[in-house]
Amino acid sequence: AVSVLAPNGRRVTVRVGPSTALIQVLEEVCRKQNFSPNEYDLKFQRTVLDLSLQWRFANLPNNGKLEMVPISRNRVGIENTANLFPAAIVYFGSEVHKDHYLRLDLLESAVSPSEADILVARRLSKLVDHTAQHLESAPSSSPISNEANQNIVAEHSESTNLEIPQPQIRRTPSGKVPKWLKLPGGKK
Q: How many whole angstroms separate alpha carbon 186 and alpha carbon 19?
A: 27
Q: Output b/e per residue, 80-93; b: 16+ Cβ within 10 A.
A: eeeeeebbbeeebe
Does residue 173 carry a pLDDT above 80?
A: no
pLDDT of the residue at 178: 63
Partners of 42 in the β-ladder: 68
Does 5 or 123 have the greater pLDDT score?
A: 5
Does residue 177 carry a pLDDT above 60?
A: yes
| Selection from 21-30, 85-94, 160-169 with the highest mean pLDDT | 21-30
What is the CB neighbour count within 10 angstroms for residue 148? 12
| Selection from 23-27, 109-113, 133-137 with the highest mean pLDDT | 23-27
Q: Output b/e per residue, 109-126; b: 16+ Cβ within 10 A.
A: ebbbeebeebbbeebbbe
pLDDT tens for each residue of 89-114: 454 445 444 444 455 555 556 666 67
Output the average pLDDT for the chain: 69
List C-alpha distances in Å: 46 to 35, 68, 75, 114. Answer: 22, 12, 19, 44
pLDDT of the residue at 10: 92
pLDDT of the residue at 67: 94
Does residue 66 carry a pLDDT above 90?
A: yes
Handedness of CA 139, 142, 146, 150 (dihedral sign): negative
Domains observed in the chain: 2-70 (3.10.20.90)
List C-alpha distances in Å: 188 to 175, 177, 184, 185. Answer: 21, 18, 12, 8
Regarding beta strands 47-48 and 40-44, do their DSSP bridges make them parallel or antiparallel, or are they unpaired?
Answer: antiparallel
Q: How many whole angstroms separate alpha carbon 68 and alpha carbon 43?
A: 6
User: Exposed (0-12), middle (13-18) or buried (19+): which is 71, by Cβ within 10 Å?
Assistant: middle
pLDDT of the residue at 82: 43
